[in-house]
Amino acid sequence: MDTITTAAPTHSLRERMLQDMTMRGFGAHTQKDYIRHVRSFAAFLGRPPDTATMEDLRRYQVDQHERAVGLATINGAVSALRFLFGITLKRPEMALGLVVVRYMPKLRVILSIEETARLLEAAPGIKYKAALSVAYGAGLRVSEVAHLKVDDIDSTRMMIRVEQGKGRKDRNAMLGTVRNFVREAIGWNGRDHRYGNRQGRFGPASGWS
C-alpha cells in the first residue's frame, strides 16, 4: 500500500493537532494525553505519524495487545489516532480499522458507614476532614474540591455549585451532612461568606497542600 502523506509540514503537525483540540474545547489533560499517544505511535513507527499506512495502525494495535498494554491505554490511543487522522490530517478512512476494546467494569468497593467514619477520623485536621467529606459525600473530584469557594456553598438549599468540572461543565451537588465539617473548616457562620484567608478557596493556598 502506498504511503500516505499530507501537505502539512511534519514539524507543525503537533501544533496543528493542539490547535484543532483547542478549537473544539478539549481540556489540557485530554490534549496532553492525545499528544502522548501520538508520540508513542510515532516512536513505534520510527518516522512521522502522518506517513503511516492503515497497516501501520494495525501493527501498532497488535503490538499493544502482545505487550499486554492496559485496555484504557489502548482505547485512549484509538481516540487520539482517530482525532489525528480524522480531524488534523483529514484522512478519516485511515482510522476505520482501529479497534476499541470492550471490557466489563469491575464492581466497586463500597465502604460501610463505620469504615467511612474511620476514614474521616483518620484525616489530620478538620480541613482535611472537610475535603474528604465533600469529595466522598458529594461525589466531587479532587480538582473540584480544591477549587471550591465559599460562595459555591448554599447552606439554605443544601447545595454545592461546581464550576467548570469535568468536561468544563457546571453542575450542582448535594451538600448533605458534611455541612458542619465545611463550616468549621472555613470559619463560616452562615452570615460571613468568607474564608479565613484571602484566596477564598479550598486549594493549597488555603493550607491544603
CATH class of the 10-95 domain in this structure = mainly alpha
The DSSP code for 111 is -
Distance of CA 142 to the CA centre of its chain: 11
User: What average pLDDT is seen over the chain?
Assistant: 77
Q: Where are the domains of the chain?
A: 10-95, 113-206
Contact status, residue 140 vs residue 194, Cβ threshold 8 Å: no
Question: What CATH number does domain 113-206 carry, 3.30.360.10, 1.10.443.10, 3.40.50.720, 1.10.10.10?
Answer: 1.10.443.10
Residue-wise pLDDT for 39-87, tens only, equals: 999 999 999 999 999 999 999 999 999 999 999 999 999 999 999 999 9
Q: What are the residues whose beta carbons fall under 8 Å from the beta carbon of 118, sequence distance 6 or more?
A: none
Q: How confident is the model at residue 196 (pLDDT cuts 50, 70, 90)?
A: very low
**Position with higher pLDDT, 148 vs 177:** 148
- Collect all residues with Cβ–Cβ distance below 8 Å to 53 and sequence separation of at least 6: 1, 2, 3, 4
Record the pTM. 0.58
Cell of 1: 500500500
pLDDT digits (tens, 9 = 90+) for 101-120: 987 777 878 878 788 778 77
Q: Which helix (H) or strand (E) holds 64?
A: helix 54-66
Q: Which secondary-structure segment (H or E) carries 116?
A: helix 113-121
| pLDDT at residue number 12 | 86
* The domains spanning 10-95 and 113-206 adopt the same CATH topology: no
Quick check: 192 and 200 in contact, CB under 8 A? Answer: no
Q: Which of 180, 181, 161 is closest to 172 using CA atoms? A: 161
pLDDT of residue 158: 72
Q: Under 8 Å CB-to-CB from 121, ≥6 apart: which residues?
A: 129
Q: What are the CA-CA distances from residue 166 to residues 26, 27, 100, 177 (Å)?
A: 11, 9, 23, 24
- DSSP result, 8-50: S-GGGHHHHHHHHHHHTT--HHHHHHHHHHHHHHHHHHTS-GG
Q: Tell me: the pLDDT tens digits for 7-25?
A: 444 448 999 999 999 999 9
